[in-house]
Chains A and B, each alone.
Chain A
Amino acid sequence: MFRKIAHRLLWAIPTLWAIGSISFFIIRLAPGGPFERERALDPLVIASLEREYGIAPAPPMPPGAGLGARAANQTKHLARQYLRYMGGLCRGDMGPSLYYPGLKVSEILLNSLRTSFVLGAAALSIAFLFGIVAGTLAAWKRDTALDHGARAFAVAGISLPNFVIGEMFLLVFGLWLKVLPAGGWGRPACLILPALTLALPLSAYIARIYRASLIEVLGQDYIRTARAMGTGWFRVLFGMAVRNAILPVISFMGPAAAAVVTGSVVVERLFAIPGMGTHFVNGALNRDYTLVLGAVMVYGALLILCNILVDVAYTLIDPRIRL
C-alpha cells in the first residue's frame, strides 16, 4: 500500500508542475506590470523593484540586433526567470508579495491557511454527519413523507449556489433575527453560518448517495438474517450495514473536499473571514501576481492531497481493495 501511495504522490508532481508553469507564463504574458498604479512611479524605482522581485524585463539589446537575436534574448531571459521561480518553489519559497511590502507569499498563505483549514474541516464534518443521518432516515423510512422531504432537500441543495444559501443565512440569522454573528472570525459562533453554508449542499449529495447505497445493502441476505435473528434496527443500520454502504460516500469525499476548497473562497468573502480565499481574491484584485500564483499552487496541492487521502480511507474501510 505504501508503494501505491508513493506512486500517487509521484503522479502529483506533473500536475503541480503543469499548474505552476501555466500560471507562470500567464502572468508573464500579462500586459502592464504589477507596479502600474494610479500615480506613476519613477522608472528607476520600478526597475529596481522589478529586479528585486525577479520579474525584470529582458536586458535591452543593441539597436542593430536582428529580430531573431531579439527573440532569443527574450526567451533566454524568460527561461532564466522560470527556472529561478521553479527552483524557489521546490524549496517552498514563493517569493515576496508584490503588494504587501516586506511580506513573503509563503508567510501570508501559511497564516491564512490555518483559518481556512478550520472552516473546511468543520464544513466537511457537518456535511458527513448530516448526510449520513439524513440518508439513513430516508432509506429506513423509504417512500414516506420523510423520504420525499429528504429527496427534495437534496435536489435543492444540489442546485443552489452556495452564495445564495450564504446570503439567505446572513440575511435571516445574522441581520434579521440577529442570533448569530453575520461575519468575522475568532469566536466559535462565527464558524456556524459559514460552515453550514459550505456543508448543506454537500450533505444533500451525501444523503442522496448514502440512501441509494444503503437501500441496496439492506436488501442483502446477511441483513435479513440478522433481522430474523432479532437484531435491532439500530444495530443493523449503524453497525452492520454502514461498512458496506459507506464506500460510495467515501469516494465522494474527494470531490466534496474540492468543492469545499473552491466554495471557501466565496464563503470567506461573504462572511469576511481572513482565510486563504480572501487573500487570493484580494491578491487577484490588487494584481499581486506572486501571491495569486502561490495560492493557485497551494490549492492544487490541497486538491491532490485530498484525493490521495480518500483513496487511503477507501482501503482502510474495504479490505478487498488493495491500493
Chain B
Amino acid sequence: MTEQTIKETQNARLEKPAGFWNRGLRRLASDRAALVASVFLIVVIAACLIGPSLSGYAYSEQDLTSTYQAPTKAHLMGTDNLGRDLMTRVLRGGRVSLLVGIVGTLISVAIGVVYGGIAGYLGGRADMIMMRIVDVLYGMPFMFVVILLMTVFGRSLLLLFIALGAVEWLTIARVVRGQVLEVKERDFVEGARALGTLTPDILRRHILPNVMGTIVVYATLNVPSVMLREAFLSFLGFGVQPPDASWGSLAADALTAINPARICWWLVLFPCMALSATLLALNFLGDGLRDALDPRFVNR
C-alpha cells in the first residue's frame, strides 16, 4: 500500500460523516413541510424569549379593573380572570413548555443512549436482562406514578424535568440498542478491535457516529411527546404552579373561566393554538429529519 492510497483512505474516512450530515441537511431543505416547520419553530422560540419583555405587561401583573376582556388593541389576546395580559402569559408559558420539552428530552436521551448502548454492545445475557427490565417498565402506568411523585414531594420544575426525562428514555434505549447491535457486527468495528483499539474508543469513534443520525431523529420526535406530558400534568394541576404558567396550565385556567353565562373563548383558543401549532411543527420537523437522516433512507 503506497502512502498515496493510505492518505486517500484516511481522507475518505474523514469525509464520510460530513457527507452523511450534508446530504441529510440537503434532503431536509428540499422537504417543504419540514422547512416551514423549522421556520415556524424559530419564530415561536424567538417570540417566547423576547416577547414577554416587549409586551409592556408583566406576566403576573394583575389589573382587577379589566378582567375577562376580549382581545383589544391594548391586550391583543385579551385578559384573564385577574386582568393579566394573556399574550404575555402565553409567551411566558411557551418558555416553560419549550424548556421542559428540551431539558426533558436531553435527560431522556442521555439515559436512553447510555443504557441502550451498553445493552447493545454487551449483548448476550446482560442485554437480555436489561431489555427485560425495559419491557417491565413499559407496562408501568408512568404518568400516574409521576403524579404520585408530584403529590408527595410537592410540585417543582426540577422534579418535573427529572420525572419526565425518566419516563421517556425507554423508546430511545430500545432504538439505540437495536442500532448498536447491528453496527457492532460490521467489519470496521471488527477491524478496529483487531487493531487493539480500546472499547471506549470503539464506542466513541466507530459506533456513536453511526448511531448519531437515529439519536437526532428520535430526540427531535421526543420533544413534542415530553411537551405533551408536561401539558397533561399542568392541565391536571400537577405541573407548574401559579402565578407561573405553561401552555397546559393556561388551558386548565381557561376551563374554570368558561361557563354558559360567559364564554371567554380567547382564554381557551390562544394557549391551545400555541401548543397545538408548536407540537405540529415539531412532529413535521421530526418526520422530515427521519426521512433525511434515517440510515435506512440514506443512499436510496
Contact = CB atoms under 8 A, between A and B. Distances in A.
Contacts of B252: 163
A31 interface: yes
A303 interface: yes
Contacts of A207: none
A280 B144 contact: yes
Contacts of B148: 23, 26-27, 284, 292-293, 296
A168 B140 contact: no
B31 to A, nearest CB: 14
Contacts of A140: none
A116 to B, nearest CB: 13
A35 to B, nearest CB: 15
A168 B136 contact: no
Interface string B217-240: 000000010001001100111100
B76 interface: no
A300 B141 contact: yes
Interface stretch (A12-20, A63-71, A79-87, A315-323): A12-20
B276 A26 contact: no
A142 to B, nearest CB: 20
Contacts of B237: 281, 285
A175 B235 CA distance: 20
A266 interface: yes
A164 B275 contact: yes
A90 to B, nearest CB: 19
Query: Per DSSP, are chain A's interface residues mostly helix, strand or loop, or mixed?
Result: helix
Contacts of A15: 136, 139-140
B265 A161 contact: no
Nearest to A156: B280
A15 B136 CA distance: 6
A110 B138 CA distance: 25
Interface in B270-295: 272, 275-276, 279-280, 283-284
Interface residues of B, number: 40
Contacts of B265: 171
> Which secondary structure dominates where chain B touches chain A?
helix
A19 B251 contact: no
Interface in B130-144: 136, 139-141, 143-144
B152 A29 contact: yes
Interface string A243-271: 00000000000000000011001100110
Interface stretch (B19-27, B61-69, B193-201, B255-263): B255-263
A31 B151 CA distance: 11
A159 interface: yes
Which of B144, B251, B279 has most chain A Cβ within 10 Å? B144
Contact of B283 (A158, A178, A285, A287): A158
A27 B143 CA distance: 16
A182 B144 CA distance: 26
A303 B141 contact: yes
Given A167-B254, A266-B236, A296-B144, A303 B139 contact: yes
Interface of B: 136, 139-141, 143-145, 147-153, 224, 228, 231-232, 235-238, 248, 251-252, 254-255, 258-260, 263, 265, 268, 272, 275-276, 279-280, 283-284
Interface of A: 12, 14-15, 18-19, 22-23, 26-27, 29-31, 155-156, 158-161, 163-164, 167-168, 170-171, 175-176, 178, 182, 261-262, 265-266, 269-270, 280-281, 284-285, 287, 289, 292-293, 295-296, 299-300, 303-304, 307
6 contacts: A27-B148, A163-B232, A167-B255, A168-B272, A262-B232, A284-B148
Q: Which 8 A-B pairs have the closest CB atoms?
A: A30-B152, A299-B141, A159-B280, A164-B272, A284-B151, A159-B279, A296-B144, A15-B139
